[in-house]
Amino acid sequence: MGASVGIGGLIVGTSMLVVLALAVNAVDLRLESSLETIESANEPLPIFTIDNADIALGAITSLQVDDPGTGYVSGTLSAIGGSGSGFSGTFTVNNTGAIINWSITNHGDYSSVPVIVIDGPQPSGVNGSISVVSQSTVVDVSITNTGSVIVPVNEVWMFLDGENARNLGKLSPEVDSETIFPGDTVEVVWRGHGNSVFETLAISCGGFNTARALV
């Protein structure tokens, strides 16, 4: 009889120790979670300003070499007509002076197709011709990290009219670093919108949100 009571007491005591251990563990977890919440609440939020948010509905996005010509030296391109302005570009030539490549420096904004001009002087260049292949909507964005937090590029998201979410790390030109330090300014050219029209650009990052009207 005494042995049975002793064993029963041992079982009860062991069970109480297990329950106590579980209770202590639960308290520890709650305390740890509370401390993490407090620490998170005390961490400063990232802060960005949108310095520029421009939209071009008739941006020149592609060219073609209609006639490479001969006798040219690598130079610059401009555009006339098209009821717009702002385009600039460059071109390169081969060893005979034939135009072999082009690059758009500034896409501009035109309501109709402009004429691409091979800028002079090109005293030996003849017959070269370059024309516009496509125009589409392009959004130019410039943002500055005005806060005190170093922000990973892949944590910054941009939106057009509250939709069309795009991660900053996926936009071009690619950001030189994986992080944006306080005071850094990032400029991106957001293409691929067809002929869509948008009114607002928004940024979201780590609980911080801001927006600006496109102009």
More confident of the two residues 176 and 120: 120
In the structure, what pLDDT confidence band is assigned to residue 43 with cuts at 50, 70 and 90?
confident
Q: Which residues contact 57 (CB under 8 A, 6 or more apart)?
A: 109, 137, 195, 197
Of 81, 115, 135, which closes a domain?
135
Helix, strand, coil percent values for the chain (each to nearest 5) = 20, 50, 30
13 and 37 assigned to the same domain: yes
pLDDT at res. 38 = 45
Of 135, 154, 175, which closes a domain?
135
CATH of the domain at 62: 2.40.10
Torsion over CA: 177, 178, 184, 189 (sign): positive
What's phi and psi for 32, nearest 5 deg? -65, -45
**124, 97 Cβ separation under 8 angstroms:** yes
**168, 192 Cβ separation under 8 angstroms:** no
State how many domains the chain has.
3
Residue from 105, 115, 13, 118 nearest 69 by CA:
118
176 and 118 assigned to the same domain: no
Which pair of structure tokens corresponds to residue 87? 């385009």
pLDDT tens track for 58-78: 999 999 999 999 999 999 999
Instruction: State which residues form the domain around 95.
Output: 58-135
pLDDT tens track for 163-208: 999 999 888 666 677 899 999 999 999 998 999 999 999 999 999 9
pLDDT at res. 54 = 96
7 and 67 assigned to the same domain: no
Q: How far is residue 176 from each of residues 103, 109, 131, 152, 171, measured CA to CA in Å?
A: 20, 27, 32, 12, 12
pTM for this predicted structure: 0.73
28 and 39 assigned to the same domain: yes
11, pLDDT greater than 90: no
142 and 200 assigned to the same domain: yes
